[in-house]
Chains A and B, each alone.
Chain A
Amino acid sequence: MHMEIKILGPGCRNCATLEKRTKEALTELGQDATVSKVTDYAEIAAYGVMQTPTLVIDEQVVVSGKVPVTRAIRDLIVAAK
């Protein structure tokens, strides 16, 4: 099943780091997924989160307000499958 990952955040450094680590995790797992960034606050608010950056996998919020290490992101991706 195709996985869809979204990174919610206005584009500050943490958001960029989250995106980088997420892509690393995907490569390490050999997992195919679309990674997109959501920077519009109205859209971010629609997910009901109050902190950025936020990692969303297949429309589920998995992490909010933190930038986990790549390995933790890997675990989250695996858990989401």
Chain B
Amino acid sequence: MTLDTTPASPAARHTRSRDDLRVWAFLVAFAAAWGVIFAVNEMLWPWLLGDVMRLDLVSTLGAAVEFFLYDTVKISLLLLGLLFLVGLVNTQISPEKVRGVLAGKGLFVGILLAVALGAITPFCSCSSIPIFIGLVAAGVPLSVTLAFLVSSPLISETGIILMGGTFGWDIAAGWALAGAVVSIAVGLVLSRFKLEKWIEPFVFTSRTAQLATASTRPSMRDRVTASWDETRDMLKKILPFLLLGVLIGAAIHGWVPDEFFATVAGPDNPFSLLIATFAGAPLYANPAAVVPLASALYAKGVALGTTMAFMMSLVALSIPSLIMLRRVMKLPLLAIFTGVVLAAIYLIGFIFNLIPLAR
């Protein structure tokens, strides 16, 4: 979307920079308020539920209610804050700019850049085909484009924030690393094959017009409004899934015995890892629902690598997205692509299962 609001005259530019300052001041105040609310949430619930409402927080139900409320607020705050920040950054980014960065780069650098860009850019999955076409038609190597397509859903801000809040930030960092490794591996492996012949021909002849994107800078006010709108939309979409996931997770916490999965899906069970990898593949799940659910499974004994593999294949692959990819890729390429992604996910799950963890 072109945010073409550069003012014409010096007087107008002066008014604009005064307005920018006002917007910055508002942002700082907003951040401070956010920090206060976050800190309050950390301490509020034991007092409110335990002292004021006299709930028994030691009982399973009391603990579950306290956890549910505390966690929902905390994750919502984290999502709000971080999505908004990322949204601000993303007012600077467009697929055209991504294309500009990736075109003409060497293979290895291109793959690294593609994975980094895929991680920070929030393009909706329905845009993945137009982005694919735009990149390939502009001459970006296919393996680089595919690395981008894998890292985009795999490493998402929403997913990482949710993982940080539920599994802890060390595991969230591990997830981001794992996602990066999977995407890079997919890119590198695919670059060994000559895959161009399996792309639908129309992709190469697509017009790659440089849309008249704003050479003018949007104002802070425009950026904040755009980011706020997107954050709100995103939160509205996510919250129902998040609540559902937390509910199911809470049910698992409550009723499934501890260590239930340890024998079946523990770290020394490569077969269950295989099942986990394949089980997630045909389905798509919103990260907001998957993470709370997966954390409950993890708490009941499923190995870390197995849990991560399950989440990864849920998020990175799905029948609907493969059907979409079929429109631009012929079946052999689609099969190779899917196979390589699954293999990479399995391997990284395997490696994470080897890490000794104090639970």
B124 at the interface (CB under 8 A from A): yes
Q: A10-B324, A50-B134, A64-B1 are in contact. Are A42 and B206 (CB under 8 A)?
A: yes
| Beta-carbon nearest neighbor of A42 in chain B | B202
Taking CB atoms and an 8 Å cut-off, the chain B residues in 166-208 that contact chain A are 202-203, 206-208
Taking CB atoms and an 8 Å cut-off, the chain B residues in 100-135 that contact chain A are 123-127, 129-131, 133-135
| Beta-carbon nearest neighbor of A43 in chain B | B202
| Beta-carbon nearest neighbor of B324 in chain A | A10
A15 at the interface (CB under 8 A from B): yes
A45 B134 Cβ-Cβ under 8 A = yes
Chain A residues within an 8 Å CB radius of B203: 45
| Beta-carbon nearest neighbor of B208 in chain A | A48
Chain A residues within an 8 Å CB radius of B123: 51, 65
A14 at the interface (CB under 8 A from B): yes
B207 A41 Cβ-Cβ under 8 A = no
A50 B1 Cβ-Cβ under 8 A = no
Chain A residues within an 8 Å CB radius of B328: 41
A63 B1 Cβ-Cβ under 8 A = yes
A50 B130 Cβ-Cβ under 8 A = yes
Chain B residues within an 8 Å CB radius of A49: 130, 134, 211
A10 B124 Cβ-Cβ under 8 A = no
- Distance between Cα atoms of A68 and B2 in the complex (Å): 12
- Distance between Cα atoms of A41 and B224 in the complex (Å): 32
- Distance between Cα atoms of A61 and B324 in the complex (Å): 23
B327 A14 Cβ-Cβ under 8 A = no
A12 B327 Cβ-Cβ under 8 A = no
Count residues on chain B whose CB falls below 8 Å from chain A CBs.
Answer: 28
- Distance between Cα atoms of A78 and B115 in the complex (Å): 41
* Least Cβ–Cβ distance between A45 and chain B, in angstroms: 4
B164 at the interface (CB under 8 A from A): no
Q: A10-B126, A45-B130, A65-B123 are in contact. Are A50 and B327 (CB under 8 A)?
A: no
- Distance between Cα atoms of A10 and B96 in the complex (Å): 20
| Beta-carbon nearest neighbor of A55 in chain B | B1
Chain A residues within an 8 Å CB radius of B327: 41
| Beta-carbon nearest neighbor of A64 in chain B | B1
Type the 1/0 row for B205-216, where 1 means its CB is closer than 8 Å to any CB of A.
011111100000
Q: Which of B94, B129, B208 contacts A41 (CB 8 A)?
A: B129
A12 B137 Cβ-Cβ under 8 A = no
* Least Cβ–Cβ distance between B278 and chain A, in angstroms: 26
Type the 1/0 row for A36-76, where 1 means its CB is closer than 8 Å to any CB of B.
00000110111111111100000001011110100000000
* Least Cβ–Cβ distance between A58 and chain B, in angstroms: 16
- Distance between Cα atoms of A48 and B211 in the complex (Å): 7
B207 A46 Cβ-Cβ under 8 A = yes
- Distance between Cα atoms of A63 and B211 in the complex (Å): 11
B99 at the interface (CB under 8 A from A): yes
Give A contacts to B, CB under 8 Å. Answer: 9-10, 12, 14-15, 41-42, 44-53, 61, 63-66, 68
Sample of 19 A–B contacts (CB below 8 Å)? A10-B126, A12-B126, A41-B129, A41-B133, A41-B202, A41-B328, A45-B130, A45-B137, A46-B206, A47-B207, A48-B209, A50-B94, A50-B95, A50-B127, A50-B131, A50-B135, A52-B127, A52-B130, A65-B127
